[in-house]
Chain A
Amino acid sequence: MTRRWNVSGLLLVGLLVLSLGLAACSDEDGDDSVAASDPTAAAPAPGTVFDPPREMGDFTLTAHTGEPLSLSDLQGQVVVLYFGYTYCPDVCPVSLALLNAAYNQLTPEVQEQVQVVFVSVDGTRDTPERLGMVIPAFNPDFLGVTGPEETVRGIGEPYGVAFYRRFPENASPENYLVFHTSQFFVLGQQGEWRAVYPDDVSAAYLAEQITAQVEARTST
């Protein structure tokens, strides 16, 4: 339902902007107050694209295969980072399902140039084996990486990622929740940070944005 609204809504906004543009262009006096005074025309697209992109440091964690994995190993690919944990009841499964849906909407050529990486903020419970059970179940092409929580804290910090444990009432102490930043970070071929998106964008929109980043780097 809302997906249709999104697409049609974009179309609507696009057409309104276009018609406002026509009105503004025909204004000989160069008085652009017509366009400028309509606040509804500027529905912002969700997320932020950085221009220029931001240089980020490399990091090394353990992949769900058991092998060490550095961000620099993925050079040449557009990387989509998501920070979460596999015991996450609601937020992460929804985000991973969204990433799966977005990934499945990419063309095979684009898919080859994209790597989705799930970074665990719960190294205590998220062993490589645990990640290996869960992450490929969302999508066999996705990578899960894990490591000591303090290491991951340092990796996430420059992206504005924060996380901390919470203990729900009546839950056993090992059954804690981890509250964490929930966003999609898109990195370019050199590991540079190119864009960030909220976790409630549509899969179609995210697929579009990822494709644009892949194409941007192909054309430069």
Chain B
Amino acid sequence: MAENVGNTRKWLFIGIGVAVFLVVGIIAVGLVFSGDGDDDDDGDNGDNGDNNGAEEIVITEGELTVTGAWMRAVIVGDAPVTVPEDRELDADEAPGEGMSDMGMGGSNAAVYLVIANGTEADDSLVAASVSAEIATEAQLHDSVMVGDERQMQQQDAIPVPAGEVVELKERSLHVMLMNVQQDLNTDETITLTLTFESGTTLDIPVQVVPLGTEPTQ
């Protein structure tokens, strides 16, 4: 009998515990959702404004749209960077070209954007380009974790299925400008040309934001 009372008390306490658990849980979940959308403007320093506002992206029916393209500033500098042949390449540094001792050391830079496919057909981003004065080439990349290292892997295409939104964002898919030729300063805009498998070609403005712009999580 005494044991029974003990057990009852035990279960009562557990019951109370579970009830508290549920109540606080529900309140917490409520907080999570009520917190949504009211504090977008917290970053004074390097605020990238609506450039990362993927939540506002609307799919336009019948259209393939690209919005919110941005990149961080690029400092190329004016002095050509000489690359001396100062060391032998390690075996894993394939494909084994030697270091050239002339030419610019290239600055590469990532462009982020949002593609919304409002059409009824699957599509793919297959190429990107910028004017030769800006960079020698634009490649499609993905950034993946290999152990503790983030590695960039070139992509032949970035699929954009019908009715879906694909975000090119930090630490993920991006367009990489290879060998940027000139400084790209905050508040400048460059034009990026995107080519899709369907034949659609879009010229989109890319806004340059400060280097210190806080990353999106």
Contacts and interface: CB of A to CB of B under 8 A. Distances in A.
Interface of A: 1-9, 11-12, 15-16, 18-20, 22-24, 26-29, 34, 86-91, 93-94, 96-98, 100-101, 104, 124-125, 127, 129-130, 133-134, 137-139, 149-150, 160, 162, 164-175, 177, 179-183, 198-200, 202-203
Given A1-B36, A101-B212, A160-B148, A11 B97 contact: no
Interface string B35-63: 11001000101100000001100000000
B121 interface: no
Contacts, number: 216
16 contacts: A15-B25, A19-B21, A28-B9, A29-B10, A89-B110, A90-B143, A90-B152, A97-B72, A98-B215, A124-B99, A162-B149, A165-B90, A171-B178, A173-B98, A174-B104, A202-B217
A94 B21 contact: no
Instruction: Give the interface size class of chain B.
Output: 35 or more
The 8 A-B residue pairs with the shortest CB-CB distance in the complex, in nearest-first order: A23-B17, A26-B13, A89-B108, A175-B106, A101-B214, A100-B212, A19-B21, A12-B28
A177 B31 CA distance: 43
A11 B28 contact: yes
Given A23-B20, A28-B6, 20 more contacts: A3-B217, A8-B35, A11-B31, A27-B14, A28-B13, A34-B14, A89-B176, A91-B150, A91-B152, A97-B72, A97-B212, A98-B215, A100-B45, A124-B99, A130-B77, A130-B81, A133-B77, A174-B83, A174-B100, A203-B215
Nearest to A181: B148
Contact of B73 (A2, A22, A137, A179): A137
Contacts of A2: 216-217
A198 B150 CA distance: 11
Given A94-B170, A101-B45, A101-B46, A20 B17 contact: yes
B103 interface: yes
B213 A97 contact: yes
Contacts of B141: 90
A26 B98 CA distance: 70
A104 B20 CA distance: 38
B179 A172 contact: yes
A191 to B, nearest CB: 22
Given A1-B36, A2-B216, A16-B24, A175 B105 contact: yes
A148 to B, nearest CB: 8
B130 interface: no
